[in-house]
Chains A and B, each alone.
Chain A
Amino acid sequence: MEILGFKRSDGRVGIRNHILILPTSSCSAETARIIAAQVDGAVTFQNQQGCGQLGRDLIRTNNILVSLGCHPNVFGVVVVGLGCETCQPGCISEEIGKRGMRVKKVVIQEEGGTLGAIQKGVRYASEMALEASAEQRISCSLADLTIALECGGSDPTSGLAANPSVGHASDKLIEAGGSTILSETTEFIGAEDTLASRMAKPELIEDLKRIIGRLEESARRSGEDLRGGNPTPGNIASGISTIEEKSLGCINKAGSSQLEEVLEYGEKPTRKGLLIMDSPGFDVDSVVGMVASGAQICIFTTGMGTPVGNGIVPVIKVTGNEATYHKMRDNIDVNAGEVLSGKKSIEESGEEIFQEICRVAQGKKTKAEIFGFSEFGIWRCGETV
């Protein structure tokens, strides 16, 4: 099925044409914010890392920043660094440039501070934005899309209405040749058998056990009980009693397709179809991980409502709770609650979500985009030092 998108030089397809102002550390994030605010078409995020990190944790942050800089929804990048941080702006911009992206670099300490850096950054960004604005969308395919699947602020309607509807849309996208990514490892706990029964190859069952085991081991080592974090107080008040109940509801987002690959956090897929990514139950970090792996759109189900967006990727909010849809109309794009009141079947609701994905892919903005929400976090695997 055809959609209109932006074809990149390496053949990947973007469905937005952003100028990304990329702060390499939290010390340059405020400067990046001011640069982005001056240029129509520029986006940024509040990077809270990039220094005071070691080993695997540092490598992960570095890789995620480079991946975001190379995202298919991005036309060009202005890397903004302080100059002395561990995630060096020079290294990051060089790596992004090697992968064929348009990239410029601004180093605050070299520009004599804030105002010089802003001037240079705005000049670079505005030149790129002008060029980007002349680019036309061309005929591309749904098969070029990868959709990130996320749930947050879940209540029991998520597992009964919103997630199965998204699952139907996910199956449809996969039939059309695209991919979807199921995330939040915490929310596989209790649903492992169901997921294991759908793996394309037996080795994937071991991959799934490995990422769940790693998470449980990490909690045990720190002397914590995972159940303290999930379900959340809000989940419990809404009626979700245990992590198993939450997980079994969450995996409904994956529909009925076969699972093709288990990815590390932020890793690019090598296969198409339904994929799993190791990511935390914490929504913001989970979405960022899937964006870094190349997902161009995010479908985000929420029972209780959440405004969370992403600067690079449109986040489509779906709720299965009709009261939430009306109460948080500012933030929710699709009402799947009619499944529970019997007005729609799951298939009809899923079809509506699928059509919304196609509209958003071709330019329709989500409510999170309209507000310019760009929540950001990278899943840590080490201490700040």
Chain B
Amino acid sequence: MTTLGAIMVDDQDNVATVLENLKPDHSVAVKSKKSNEAIKSLKVLESIPVYHKIAVEKIQVGEKIIKYGAVIGTATKEIEIGEHVHTHNIKSLRG
């Protein structure tokens, strides 16, 4: 288990922000920002740099990515729990 874990800004989010560099096969505790309690534990599937996002739910292609309780984009690839979520697998709805 990593020490700093990851934080979910809103309990509706399907991504969390990792608070330290993560390596595959680590497990990470995800804390809710609202309650300050650990709400789940995930297996990290790949390297994720500090402050980047990790998927806390399985996300289908075209599905909305939720952070801050609001839509920040949609998935361009299928995303497994514990995967890195960033520009390689999500896109903006605006431009």
Q: Which residues of A contact B (CB under 8 A)?
A: 155-157, 159-160, 189-191, 193-194, 225-227, 236, 238-239, 241-245, 248-249, 321, 340-341
The answer to whether B7 touches A244 (Cβ under 8 A) is no
Question: With contacts defined as CB atoms under 8 Å apart, how many contacts are there between chain A and chain B in the complex?
Answer: 76
Would A243 and B51 count as touching, CB distance under 8 A?
Answer: no
Q: Can you name 26 A-B pairs with beta carbons within 8 Å?
A: A157-B51, A160-B9, A189-B94, A190-B71, A190-B92, A193-B70, A194-B70, A225-B95, A226-B94, A227-B92, A227-B95, A236-B87, A238-B51, A239-B51, A241-B53, A241-B92, A242-B73, A242-B87, A243-B92, A244-B93, A245-B67, A245-B68, A245-B72, A245-B73, A249-B68, A340-B7
B17–A241 contact, CB under 8 A? no
- Classify the secondary structure of A's interface with B: helix
- Is the pair A241, B86 in contact by a Cβ cutoff of 8 Å? yes
B92 lies within 8 A of A244 (CB): yes
Residues of B within 8 A of A238 (CB): 51
One of B4, B49, B90, B94 near A239 (C-beta < 8 A): B49
A250 to chain B, nearest CB (A): 11
Question: Could you tell me the distance in whole angstroms from the C-beta of A349 to the nearest C-beta in chain B?
Answer: 14
Distance in angstroms between the alpha carbons of A227 and B68 in the assembled complex: 20
Main SS at interface, chain B: loop
**B51-A156 in contact (CB<8A):** yes
> Which residues does chain A contribute within 8 Å of B94, judged by CB atoms?
189-190, 226-227, 242-244
Q: Smallest Cβ distance from B88 to chain A, in angstroms? A: 9
Q: Determine the chain A residues whose CB is within 8 A of the CB of B70 once the complex forms.
A: 190-191, 193-194, 244, 248
